[in-house]
Amino acid sequence: MTDANALLLALAIPAIAMFLIAASGSRPNIRDGISVAASIATFAVVLRLLESIIAGARPSVTLVEVMPGLVINFSIEPLGMLFATVASGLWIVTAIYSIGYMRGAHEKKQTRFYICFALAIAAALAIAFSGNLFTLFIFYEVLTLSTYPLVAHKETPEARAGARVYLGILMTTSILFLLVAVIWTWSLTGTMEFRAGGILEGNIDPVFVPFLLALFAFGIGKAALMPFHRWLPAAMVAPTPVSALLHAVAVVKAGVFTMLKVGTYIFGIGFLGRTGASEWLVWLAAATILIASIVALTKDDLKARLAYSTVSQLSYITLGMALANQMGVVGGAMHIVMHAMGKITLFMCAGAIYVAAHKTKVSELDGLGRKMPLTFIAFAIASFSIIGLPPFGGAWSKWYLLLSAADAGQLVIIGVLMLSSLLNVAYLLSIPARAFFSPPKDQMAHSLGAAALPSKGWEEAPLFCLVPICLTALGCIVLFFAVGGIYEYLLSIPISPETAP
Amino acid sequence: MLDIVKANLPALQVVVPLVAAPICAMLGRGGRAWGFATFISFLTFAISVSLFSATYAGQPISYEMGGWAPPIGIEYRIDGLNAFVLMIVSGVAALVMPYARRSVAVEIPAERQAFFYTAFLLCLTGLLGVTITGDAFNVFVFLEISSLSTYALVASGAWRNKRALTAAYNYLIMGTVGATFFVIGIGMLYMITGTLNMADLAMRIAEHGDSRTLRMGFVFIFVGIGLKLAMFPLHLWLPNAYSFAPSAVTSFIAATATKVAVYVLLRFMFTIFGFDYAFQASTLENVLLPVAIVAMFAASLVAIFQDDLKRMLAYSSIAQIGYMLLGLAFLTPTGLVATIVHLFNHAVTKGALFMVAGCFVLSAGTSSISSLRGIGRDMPWTTAAFVAGGLSLIGLPLTVGFISKWYLVQASLELGWWPVALLIMASSLLAVIYVWRVVEAAYLQPAPEGVTRREAPLSMLVPAWILVGLSIWFGIDATLTTTAASRAADTLIGSSQILWQE
C-alpha to C-alpha distances, A441 to A48, A353, A435, B8, B478, nearest whole angstrom: 52, 17, 11, 92, 65
Residue A447, amino acid: S
pLDDT at residue A449, as a whole number: 45
Residue A444 has pLDDT above 60, yes or no: no
* Contact (CB<8Å) A67/B426: no
What is the C-alpha separation between B94 and B117, in angstroms, rounded? 13
Q: Which of B409, B440, B482 sits opposite A183 (nearest CB)?
A: B409
Residue in B422, B428, B479 nearest the CB of A65: B479
Q: How many CB atoms lie within 10 A of CB A85?
A: 18
Fill in the DSSP letter of residue A362.
Answer: G
Contacts of A231 in chain B (CB under 8 A): none
**What is the pTM assigned to this prediction?**
0.88
Predicted confidence band of residue A455 (pLDDT cuts 50, 70, 90): low
Beta carbon pairs, A and B, within 8 Å: 78
Asked if B410 and A183 come within 8 Å (Cβ–Cβ), the reply is yes
Mean pLDDT of A190-201: 84
The CA distance from A111 to A88, in Å, is 20
pLDDT in tens, B435-472: 999 998 888 888 877 777 888 888 889 999 999 999 99
Query: Which amino acid, residue A483?
Result: V
**Beta bridge partners of residue A65, listed in sequence order:** A71
Indicate whether A77 belongs to any domain: yes
A148 within a domain of the structure (yes/no): yes
How do beta strands A60-67 and A70-75 pair? antiparallel
Q: What pLDDT score does A194 carry?
A: 86
For the segment A45-103, what is each residue's pLDDT rounded down to a tens digit?
Answer: 998 888 888 888 888 888 888 888 788 889 888 888 989 998 888 888 888 888 878 87
- Does residue B125 have a pLDDT over 90? yes
| Among B420, B8, B451, B479, CA closest to A184 | B420
Q: Is residue A497 part of a domain?
A: no
B380–chain A nearest CA distance, Å: 13
Is pLDDT of B128 > 90?
A: yes
Q: Smallest Cα–Cα separation from A145: which of A126, A125, A163, A127? A: A163
Give the whole-angstrom CA distance, residue B93 versus residue B257. Answer: 11
Q: Note which residues in 425-454 of chain B have CB less than 8 A from chain A.
A: 425-426, 428-429, 432, 436, 440, 443-446
Residues of B in contact with A67 (CB under 8 A): 403, 406, 478-479, 482
The tens digit of pLDDT for each residue in A483-501 reads 888 888 888 888 777 654 4
State the Cα–Cα distance between residues A453 and A34, nearest whole angstrom: 41
Query: Within chain B, what is the greatest distance between any pair of CA atoms?
Result: 72
CB contact under 8 A, B429 and A176: yes
- Is residue A500 one of the residues assigned to a domain? no
- Give B69's DSSP letter: P
Query: A480 lies in a domain?
Result: yes
Which member of B398, B445, B479 has the closest CB to residue A138? Answer: B398
Q: How far is CA B70 from the centre of its chain?
A: 28
Among residues B466, B260, B471, which one has the least CA distance to residue B348? B471
> How close B381 comes to chain A (CA, Å)?
15
**Under 8 Å CB-to-CB from A310, ≥6 apart: which residues?**
A224, A232, A247, A248, A252, A343
Least confident span in A346-350, A481-485, B492-496: B492-496
Residue of A nearest to B397 (CA): A138
The 3-state DSSP composition of chain B as helix, strand, coil percent (nearest 5) reads 80, 5, 15
Rounded Cα–Cα distance for residues B44 and A79 (Å): 55
- Digit-coded pLDDT (tens) for A261-309: 998 888 888 888 888 888 888 899 999 999 999 998 888 888 888 889 9
Q: What pLDDT was estimated at residue B93?
A: 94
Q: What is the pLDDT of residue A447?
A: 46
| Contact yes or no for A359/A459 (Cβ under 8 A) | no
- Partner A, chain B 465-494, Cβ-Cβ below 8 Å: 475-479, 482-483
> What's the pLDDT tens digit per position in A225-266?
888 888 888 888 888 888 887 777 888 899 999 998 998 888
Residue from the list A141, A168, A179 with its beta carbon closest to the beta carbon of B425: A179
- Average pLDDT of the segment spanning A428-447: 73
Interface test with A, best of B334, B413, B444, B476 (most A CBs within 10 A): B444
Q: In whole angstroms, what is the distance from residue A179 CA to residue A213 CA?
A: 13
B375 touches chain A (CB under 8 A): no
Instruction: Say what the pLDDT of residue B89 is.
Output: 94
Please determine, for residue A408, whether its predicted confidence score (pLDDT) is greater than 90: no
Sign of CA dihedral A144, A91, A192, A275: positive
Q: Which of A1-5, A114-118, A207-211, A336-340 is least confident? A: A1-5
Quote the CA–CA distance of A460 and A463 in Å, as a whole number. Answer: 8
| ipTM of the prediction | 0.81
The per-residue pLDDT for B264 is 93
In angstroms, how far is CA B388 from the centroid of its own chain?
Answer: 20
> Would residue A496 count as lying in a domain?
no
Look at residue B391 in the predicted model and tell me its pLDDT. 92
Q: Is A28 a domain residue?
A: yes
pLDDT of residue A485: 83
Q: How far is residue A65 CA from its own chain's centroid? A: 30
Q: Which domain holds residue A460?
A: 3-490
How many domains, chain A? 1
Question: How much of chain A, in percent, has pLDDT values that exceed 70?
Answer: 96
**Which of B406, B424, B430 to mutate to probe the A interface, most A CBs <10 Å?**
B406
Return the closest-CA partner of residue B442 out of B358, B365, B385: B385
Across the range B313-332, mean pLDDT stands at 91
Q: Which of B340, B396, B422 to mutate to test the interface with A (most CBs of A within 10 A)?
A: B396
Instruction: Render pLDDT for B70-107 as a digit per residue (tens, 0 to 9).
Output: 778 888 888 888 898 999 999 999 999 999 988 888 88
DSSP 3-state assignment of A239? coil
- Residue type for position A8: L
Residue B39 has pLDDT above 60, yes or no: yes
Of all residues in chain B, what percent carry a pLDDT higher than 90?
Answer: 47
The whole-number average pLDDT for the span B198-210 is: 84
Q: Which residues of A touch B413 (CB under 8 A)?
A: 180, 183-184, 187
Q: Given A141, A155, A184, which is nearest B444 (Cβ)?
A: A155
pLDDT tens for each residue of A140-194: 999 999 888 888 888 888 888 888 898 989 988 998 899 989 988 888 888 888 8
**For range B103-115, the mean pLDDT:** 87
Question: Mean pLDDT of all residues in chain A?
Answer: 85
Residue A452 has what pLDDT? 46
Task: Tell me the pLDDT tens digit for each residue of B153-178.
Answer: 999 988 888 889 999 999 999 999 99
Q: Is the peptide bond before A227 cis (omega within 30 degrees of 0)?
A: yes
Reported confidence tier of residue A450, pLDDT bands at 50, 70, 90: very low
CB count in 10 Å sphere of residue B94: 22
pLDDT digits over B365-404, tens only? 888 888 888 888 888 899 999 999 999 999 888 899 999 9
Is pLDDT at B246 greater than 70 in this prediction?
yes
How far apart CA B189 and CA B273 sit, in angstroms, is 10
A-chain residues within 8 Å CB-CB of B445?
155
Q: What band does B149 get if pLDDT is binned at 50, 70 and 90? A: very high
B384 contact A CB<8A = no
- The pLDDT-based confidence of A453 (bands split at 50, 70, 90) is very low
Pair B13, B130: CB distance under 8 Å: no
Supply the pLDDT for residue B97: 92
CB < 8 Å to B477, chain A: 64-66
Listed residue (A383, A370, A359) closest to A306, CA to CA: A383
- State the pLDDT confidence band at B500, using cuts at 50, 70 and 90: low
